Amino acid sequence: MTTNEETQIEIDLLRYEATSLLAAVRLYITKGDPWLETHAAEELGRRRQDLISWASGRRKELTQDDILAEWDAIRQEHSGIFDQGILRVSRYSAVILLYTALEHGLQILSEFARTSQNMPVSAHDLRGDPFERCKVFFSKMCQIELTTFPQWNAVSDLEKVRHAIVHAGGRLDYISGATIRNRINQLAGQQGSGIHIGRSWGDVVEVDQSFIASISAATEGFLEDLVNEVGRRYL
């Protein structure tokens, strides 16, 4: 086996360690959300059929307006359970898990860089949350500027949306930082971003599957590029 082949194997092993959690999260996203949407549609169809069966036996008692009013009530209840409840929580969970997998990968790679060069400072020694510590570590100790990566804006958006979910329950009026609030409003104003502002209980961040899919791919690309850069420098 040549030296280049051995190096490539080491890079592949490093990639696996840094991205294994992300791979699991992406599998959860790919399978989970479509299943929930299908189940929601099936449940609404079942309740519609139940309404038809219930109304057909009461034709003399019910007017068309009565039946339509009952259907509207069923749809509102269904929306509250699925659209505003289960699907929202599932997509919030996906954002949080993607960010967790991103932090995990950053910490794996920063520690690999530190130990390979016996650096005196680790990301854990720095101030801030894990994301900020790793960004500073790579900049100061490795001269790798994460902000220059092509996926940086998407990864930064992931961090902001996750912050809104974790620290404010998705409520924009509960977010203290104007930078985060303004960026989320910008995303909501961009067609196709997958971020919307719901008005049901104040200004609430709504996350579509399109945002999760794009941010998931960006996170994968970001960690892939960082694995290659760390491998190129320290293997």
Q: Give the predicted TM-score (pTM) of the model.
A: 0.84
Q: How do the domains of the chain map onto residue ranges?
A: 3-234
194 conformational bin, left if phi > 0, alpha if psi -120 to 50, beta if neither:
left
How far apart are the C-alpha atoms of 126 and 139, rounded to whole Å?
12
CA–CA distance, 161 with 184 (Å, rounded to integer): 7
Whole-angstrom distance, CA of residue 180 vs CA of residue 164: 8
Contact 37, 123 (CB under 8 A): no
pLDDT tens for the chain, 235 residues long, are 566 788 888 999 999 999 999 999 999 888 887 788 888 889 888 999 988 888 887 877 888 888 888 888 888 888 878 877 788 888 999 999 999 999 999 999 999 999 999 999 999 999 999 999 999 999 999 999 999 999 999 999 999 999 999 999 999 989 988 999 999 999 999 999 999 998 766 789 999 999 999 999 999 999 999 999 999 999 8
